[in-house]
Structure 1
Amino acid sequence: MDSIARQGAGESDGVTLDDLLAVSSGGPPRFFSPIVPSSSSSSSSSSSSSSSRPMMLYVPGLDGTGFAASSQFESLSRHYDLVALNVPVGDRATFDELESKSKSKSKAKAKRTAATNDPKVFLIGESMGGLLSLGVASRRPDLVDRLVLVNPASSFDKSPWPAVGPLLPNLPEQLYAGLPYALAPVLFDPPRLVQGAVAAAVAAAEAGAPGARGVAAATGDPVVGLAAAAEELARLFPALGQLSNIIPRDTLAHRLAVLADGCAAVNAPGVLEKINVPTLAIVSSADALIPSAEEGPRLRRAMPKCAIEVLDGASHAALQEQGVDLVGLLKRNAFLPRTADDPPALSRDAAFAPPSPAELERAFESLSFLRKVVSPVFFSTRADGVVVPGLDAVPLGDARSGEGRPVLLVGNHQTLAPDLGFLVQEFITERNVLIRGLAHPGGGGGGPGGGLSAFTTFGAVPVSGKNFYNLLAAGEVVLLFPGGVREAFKRKNEDYKLFWPSKPEFIRMAVRHGATIVPFAAVGAEDGIDIVADSDDVARLPFGLGDGAIRRSKAVPAARAVDTRVTEDGDAEELFVQPICVPKAPQRYYFKFGRPIETAGLHAEGFSKDEEKVRAMYGDVRREVEDGIDWLLRKRTEDPFGDTLTRGVWEAASGGKQAPTFNP
């Protein structure tokens, strides 16, 4: 599919802007395919390829042609069944009617999806089209699988245009004909526009093109060179000169009213908040038409599943600017359909969307400073007991294979869990696996970037038997801290102690799914803090402060219906009261993954019914964690770069390369 419709300069076998303008119909709005197969392509091949791709519906801006983003169409068509909306010049459809037209096309695609098990519907709206797309997603989110907004006009009501716009249709005809050129610096970034035109003219001249460009190259005449640039500018943006025909005065007046109505509908209280569709808002930092730079963060705050990409220095018509790659932005945010050539997915769970490359980049960046300070190192243990550097000995192969056998990582919680993000990051970067955590439902634990909300983005789910079962059933690599909040919010003088219940809560579940259990130990974080007040101290605060803190703690949802550590083991109650800590000199972080414990086939043998065997395996896991902690505490004294200052100087001198550690 190599024929692309361009603005007023379509190829011989493509649909062009002139083709659409030649249709004098005043309506109704219509969808068309801007990409037409070349004559050399077989129709059967094209049809098969199209039916196997998700549909992308492109909803244009104020121009209504469906061609404003045409420079992106060819690359988009390699991944999507691309369809564009055209709103004819004489059409007077209202915001609701235009929205309904987009919904009807999405509905038709949904029927095709149900009939053929076809991929999903992507809705991409630019400027006014972004406003219409938000309207569709708010009223029929079931019809939209992914939503892409490019400088959406949902911020139109916060710009000067509601006041200035109605004056433009009243301009005399001759002045109105020149309006597109007057608005060019607002629609496009002038320096980029001219730079692109001049670069194209120079390239053509160097290639020996005839006419003014060749003369300019030969003579170096600046006047001729500017004329060549202007000619190139007209070739690159032919629709600019036709804007007064594309949007005559009465059409402009109508579409300004559509924008006003759309903003009132979309920005009504509670509308954006209920759009639970994965959304990517692409906004230009130098949009001089509407305040897109401020609109992106507003949409991200309001919409539950909205990510933003900021195009630095780009104008309102960003998709027409040189260097803006829409497909690249979609890929970076996991909005591009997966292909057979893609690396394996981070997760096997079909019900979970792993973080996108952009989310990973931001999360890892948030860890970069602490990573430089603590320089974490990892070790793993082979089945024969040999300890090796890195994570190579952790048996994750089964979890990524067609067998879908899960892996259960079981370890100790360090106080406040500042090390958790490094665990997640290391498995992603070294093994291309996202470990799925079981987190306290009240917010205990952290994640890449800190906080349970960030950890949840990376696949954590609240601790419960059902969630635990579902993760193992999906063949995931699951992260479990049996000590829970009691271990994460330690009291004074409890460094590196385990607070596991005596009952083997997780063993039977692992056996039922044939999971490989990998015990692990972590040290270093608890040496970098000093607890000055724990939950017991907080409970004793005067003037009702302590009672209030304990009361709020008990209102937090519990991870366990019955905590056997209290009822059977005689331990202190698990309180969701974070200890008050002061930092000490930071220490290096160390992680050791122990010898794997296989459970495949044990369920069929009735292993879980033998209480003695279950408790023995539970004891083995706990001892492996405790032995791992002791091993790390002992071996770290052999680390030539265990001292933070010495290590920092060495790593700075080596250009950021990580300092070596002890030999296992």
Structure 2
Amino acid sequence: MATAVPYLAPLLPPAAACRLRRNRIRLSAVGTRKLLDDSEVEPRGVADFAERSRDLAARTVGGPVRWFAPVECGPPAVESPPSLFFLPGLDGVGFGLIRHHQRLGKIFDVWCLHIPVTDQTPFVGLVEYVERTVKSEQSYSPNKPIYLVGESIGACVALAVAARNPNVDFILILANPATSFLHSQLQTLSVLLDVVPVPFQVMLPNCLSLLTGASGEDEVSQRAIRVFREDHAHIFPPFSFLADLLPKEYLDWKLEMLRSASLFVNSRLHAVRAQTLLLASGMDQLLPSREEAERLHKSLPNCRIRHFNDSGHTIFLEDGIDLVTTIKGATCYRRSSQIDYVSDYLLPTPSEFQKAADQYKWVDLAASPVMFSTLKDGKIVKGLEGIPTEGPAVFVGYHMLMGWELGHLVSRLFTERNIHLRGIAHPFMFDRDIELIMPDSSSFDGIRLMGAVPTSPANFYKLLLRKSSVLLYPGGTREALHRKDEEYKLFWPEKPEFVRMASRFGAQIIPFAVVGEDDLFKVVIDLDDLVNVPFYNLLHKRLNPDSVKLRTDYTGEVANQDMHPLGLLPKIPGRLYFLFGKPIDTQGRKEELRDKERAQQLYLHVKSEVENCIAYLKKKREKDPYRNILPRLLYQATRGFSAEVPTFEL
């Protein structure tokens, strides 16, 4: 066994690693209700990667392939975390996730593969080595998924292991996989950079000679070297430590491994059934990663893509990329054989919360939302004082056009009342195939990070069981994508869908309304117009596959929960107004509300309260001197743009 360096757990073979994992001391489970704070995470960067890789590579020259557990990952902060195995790129050192170790360690049991720089284990040998490890892990935890995170050739190893073991529950996270190597249009020097990124003055002439037979002294070669140095000089420092360790034969070996890995994996893609998340860089100078991700998506039946348009090949070492956030947003985090959107959910960290809230910042700037709530005695007050902070609770309201109220609603309740709303969302926002037709495949990641769950009685039940605060829109898509001149019209089903479930847990029902959509946009093209457009039916089928249908047992307008685009005409921005009605307590009414008639009466009461809130806001906003954006801007210009703008008097 090799001597461990200060920042590593001992380097171990798979069997010993599994024994260490069993004996590792864990923190007491904090569950998923505690906010995982990332403010204490130490920033790591390329310099840390180079330093630690240099040290580890120098200590293990000639040693065998092995696993190590970075000590900085620490013990997990969640109960029963799944294991994550990192498979590095061609550098093989294993520190490629150094920027993510601390955050990954909170929710995973992390192990990294180390391949000594002079090791010549063939590709199939690496596959078999990883395979033995995951089989041992599966026997120890048969009901947990096994995460394989691979970059470049490491992604090829992950795919090969998954193809050879279709009955193992893998979740593959693949960054810029080298499966495109044989079909790459990369320039010769770009290929060499991935093969052996060492200083030009030491190795490049030999590299050129190796691949092209040129000495590196001719004018063409010198010009290529000069251009390549200028374009890619920033990439070399992290890998310069390899210059003194690599023999010339290493180049031949790595090139051959790339070829064999690409051939091996591409011939077996049809056998991969694992859940897969592809991370594709848009500025990858070594491989056509964006195009390759699209190709792999067509071959892998359970695959999602996340594009990083401004990132290069070494995506995990770049600033602005958070692997944990990406995994969570793509709903790829689970701790059992099936994802549980309630128990597997992890609260957003402060930075994740802020990033999600920033997506709606334009609403705050343009519409200056103002909120009111109702006290127990029926008095309406400005602010959120009347909203109970203890769950379980069901917030039931009118679904504003396109859901523009969501960002401000969720963020204000969280920051001012410490209420984390878990929204009941259309399954459209969770469907893999829908992501492909969105302008950005990560369009709904922020909503999922904030806790949205697919619509289902089971998810509603589980949330109330955990005493959560649930956001529910009975009108659903029909309200959010309404027709012309239908603003503030409720399209609720006749059945009391949520009342008896709420009473079962004694949940409080908080009716609420939002007014102001008609001050922001006007609907000029609705579904009635779209159905007359030639070939719109083709788009409709893609937007509404059978897998995302809702309320199929209903008839009439309420059954129309289909997704469709809208044509909107912006207006001079008005203002958004929120009003939360008096909370309706169902505690102790479980038996009473088993009666269908009584449940129906309460349901109609909730609906009328929402309508009353709408009517109140529509009337009172006429007396708001700052309803229009111009008076608001003048007010803030004289008192500071952080000043709260007044509204109508109560």
Taking structure 1 as the reference length, what is the TM-score of the superposition?
0.66
Separation in structure 2 between the aligned mates of residue 34 and residue 622 of structure 1, nearest angstrom: 55
Task: Tell me what 1:102 maps to.
Answer: 130
Separation in structure 1 between the aligned mates of residue 264 and residue 645 of structure 2, nearest angstrom: 57
The Cα shift of 1:627 comes to 1.7
Report whether the alignment pairs 1:377 with 2:370: yes
Please list every run of 5 or more consecutive structure 2 residues that lacks an aligned counterpart in the other structure: 9-47, 196-206, 218-224, 330-339
Report whether the alignment pairs 1:21 with 2:61: yes
Q: 1:657 to 1:296 in 2, by over 3 A?
A: farther
The Cα shift of 1:423 comes to 2.9
Q: 1:428 to 1:271 in 2, by over 3 A?
A: farther
SS for the counterpart of 2:610 is helix
The Cα shift of 1:17 comes to 2.9
Separation in structure 2 between the aligned mates of residue 47 and residue 645 of structure 1, nearest angstrom: 54
Report whether the alignment pairs 1:160 with 2:187: yes
Task: Tell me what 2:262 maps to.
Answer: 263
Q: 1:31 to 1:90 in 2, by over 3 A?
A: closer
Q: CA-to-partner distance for each residue in 1:540-595, whole Å, 9 max, x for gaps?
A: x6x9999999999999776334437x5xxxx8984857776544433211111111
Separation in structure 1 between the aligned mates of residue 543 and residue 80 of structure 2, nearest angstrom: 52
Separation in structure 2 between the aligned mates of residue 481 and residue 495 of structure 1, nearest angstrom: 15
Q: 1:10 to 1:635 in 2, by over 3 A?
A: closer
Letter in 1 for 2:258: L
Separation in structure 2 between the aligned mates of residue 555 and residue 143 of structure 1, nearest angstrom: 29
Task: Tell me what 1:61 maps to.
Answer: 89
SS for the counterpart of 1:627 is helix
C-alpha contact 2:85 2:111 (8 A) present in aligned 1: yes
The Cα shift of 1:518 comes to 0.9
C-alpha contact 1:17 1:67 (8 A) present in aligned 2: no
Report whether the alignment pairs 1:413 with 2:399: yes
The Cα shift of 1:87 comes to 5.5
Separation in structure 2 between the aligned mates of residue 651 and residue 592 of structure 1, nearest angstrom: 24
The Cα shift of 1:130 comes to 3.5
Separation in structure 1 between the aligned mates of residue 163 and residue 362 of structure 2, nearest angstrom: 40
After TM superposition, the structure 1 = structure 2 runs for residues 31-110 of structure 1, keeping only pairs within 5 Å, are 31-33=66-68, 55-64=83-92, 66=93, 69=96, 81-86=110-115, 89=118, 91-94=120-123, 96-110=124-138
The Cα shift of 1:349 comes to 1.4
Task: Tell me what 1:224 maps to.
Answer: none
After TM superposition, the structure 1 = structure 2 runs for residues 460-499 of structure 1, keeping only pairs within 5 Å, are 460-461=452-453, 463-499=455-491
Q: CA-to-partner distance for each residue in 1:496-532, whole Å, 9 max, x for gaps?
A: 2323344433211221232221101111003444455
Larger radius of gyration: 1
Please list every run of 5 or more consecutive structure 1 residues that lacks an aligned counterpart in the other structure: 24-28, 38-45, 177-181, 197-235, 337-346, 399-405
Separation in structure 2 between the aligned mates of residue 467 and residue 367 of structure 1, nearest angstrom: 26
C-alpha contact 2:487 2:518 (8 A) present in aligned 1: yes
C-alpha contact 1:377 1:589 (8 A) present in aligned 2: yes
Percent of aligned pairs with the same amino acid: 28
Structure 1 counterpart of 2:65, from 20, 30, 44: 30
Separation in structure 2 between the aligned mates of residue 644 and residue 357 of structure 1, nearest angstrom: 30
Task: Tell me what 2:253 maps to.
Answer: 254
Letter in 2 for 1:128: I
Letter in 1 for 2:115: N
Structure 1 counterpart of 2:140, from 112, 115, 123: 112
Letter in 2 for 1:106: V
* 347-356 vs 471-480, greater mean Cα deviation: 347-356
Q: 1:608 to 1:448 in 2, by over 3 A?
A: farther
Task: Tell me what 2:587 maps to.
Answer: 600
Structure 2 counterpart of 1:560, from 533, 551, 564: 551
Task: Tell me what 1:521 maps to.
Answer: 513
Query: Number of aligned pairs?
Result: 560
C-alpha contact 1:508 1:608 (8 A) present in aligned 2: yes
Q: 1:453 to 1:56 in 2, by over 3 A?
A: closer
Separation in structure 1 between the aligned mates of residue 111 and residue 268 of structure 2, nearest angstrom: 33
Structure 1 counterpart of 2:629, from 640, 644, 647: 644
Q: 1:267 to 1:659 in 2, by over 3 A?
A: farther
The Cα shift of 1:83 comes to 3.8
C-alpha contact 2:86 2:94 (8 A) present in aligned 1: no
Task: Tell me what 1:26 maps to.
Answer: none
Letter in 1 for 2:187: P
Q: CA-to-partner distance for each residue in 1:124-146, whole Å, 9 max, x for gaps?
A: 43442233234445665876766
Taking structure 2 as the reference length, what is the TM-score of the superposition?
0.67
After TM superposition, the structure 1 = structure 2 runs for residues 447-458 of structure 1, keeping only pairs within 5 Å, are none
Q: CA-to-partner distance for each residue in 1:267-324, whole Å, 9 max, x for gaps?
A: 6797699552456x48595x65445687789889987444456776x775974xxxx6
Separation in structure 1 between the aligned mates of residue 411 and residue 616 of structure 2, nearest angstrom: 23
C-alpha contact 1:587 1:644 (8 A) present in aligned 2: yes
After TM superposition, the structure 1 = structure 2 runs for residues 566-605 of structure 1, keeping only pairs within 5 Å, are 566=556, 574=560, 576=562, 582-603=569-590
Letter in 1 for 2:342: D
Task: Tell me what 1:242 maps to.
Answer: 245
Q: CA-to-partner distance for each residue in 1:228-287, whole Å, 9 max, x for gaps?
A: xxxxxxxx954322222xxx42x43333232123334556797699552456x48595x6
The Cα shift of 1:189 comes to 5.3
Q: 1:9 to 1:483 in 2, by over 3 A?
A: closer
Separation in structure 2 between the aligned mates of residue 47 and residue 620 of structure 1, nearest angstrom: 50
Separation in structure 1 between the aligned mates of residue 587 and residue 534 of structure 2, nearest angstrom: 53
After TM superposition, the structure 1 = structure 2 runs for residues 101-250 of structure 1, keeping only pairs within 5 Å, are 101-114=129-142, 121-137=146-162, 140=165, 147=172, 149=174, 152-157=177-182, 158=184, 159-161=186-188, 169=210, 190=233, 237-244=240-247, 248-249=248-249
Higher relative contact order (CA 8 A, sep 6+): 2
C-alpha contact 1:288 1:316 (8 A) present in aligned 2: no
